């Protein structure tokens, strides 16, 4: 065999995978490696329309109806603490705390270091005494 001929015929797909010491025959995944050009050796899923294994896209693409999507959202809650409403409420409270921290620094009420990192959604910087008054009005109403 010369060096230019390739022993692997990359144009043909192997239809069946032989597993279990030759006792199990099943459809083989038709995905090919980009690097070597060889066909995937895993068995294809029965539910896959394109004859792919679980690794190459034979799994479900997810819910399409609004009821199915809502079931997924409900199933992925952890003790109700990570729901969208809970995250939004946490963001609002964090924004209020950051604004109060700004007020404390403007009024020289603390010398502690400021909170580092990204400010939460809804945060408006407090830079003047008039801004402090507005924040206090908003919190008391």
Q: Which domain holds residue 53?
A: 8-60
What is the model's pLDDT at position 67? 93
Is 103 domain-assigned? Answer: yes
Regarding whether 86 and 44 lie in a shared domain, the answer is no
87 and 136, same domain (yes or no) = yes
Does residue 98 sit within a domain? yes
Residue 102 counted as domain residue: yes
Q: Which two tokens stand for residue 43?
A: 């068995």
For residue 73, tell me if it sits in a domain: no
Q: What's the number of domains the chain is made of?
A: 2
Cα within 13 Å of Cα(64), Cβ side: 2
**Residue 87, domain member (yes or no):** yes
* Predicted local confidence at residue 51, as pLDDT: 84
Same domain as 56, residue 102: no
46-54 LR contacts (CB < 8 Å, sep 24+): 51/27, 53/29
* Average pLDDT, rounded, for the chain: 82
Per-residue confidence (pLDDT) for residue 109, from 0 to 100: 92
**CA–CA separation, 123 and 84 (whole Å):** 18
Q: Measuring CA to CA, which residue among 29, 24, 49 is closest to residue 39?
A: 29
């Amino acid at each position: 065999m010369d060096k230019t001929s390739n022993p692997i015929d990359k144009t043909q797909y192997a239809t069946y995978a032989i597993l279990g010491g030759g006792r199990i025959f099943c459809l083989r995944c038709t995905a090919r490696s980009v690097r070597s050009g060889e066909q995937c050796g895993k068995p294809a899923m029965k539910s896959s329309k394109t004859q792919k294994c679980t690794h190459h896209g034979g799994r479900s693409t997810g819910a399409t109806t609004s009821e199915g999507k809502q079931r997924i959202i409900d199933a992925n809650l952890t003790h109700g603490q990570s729901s969208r409403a809970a995250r939004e409420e946490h963001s609002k409270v964090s924004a209020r705390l950051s604004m109060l921290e700004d007020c404390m620094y403007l009024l020289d009420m603390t010398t502690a270091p400021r909170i580092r990192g990204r400010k939460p959604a809804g945060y408006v910087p407090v830079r003047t005494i008039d801004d402090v008054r507005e924040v206090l009005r908003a919190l008391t109403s």
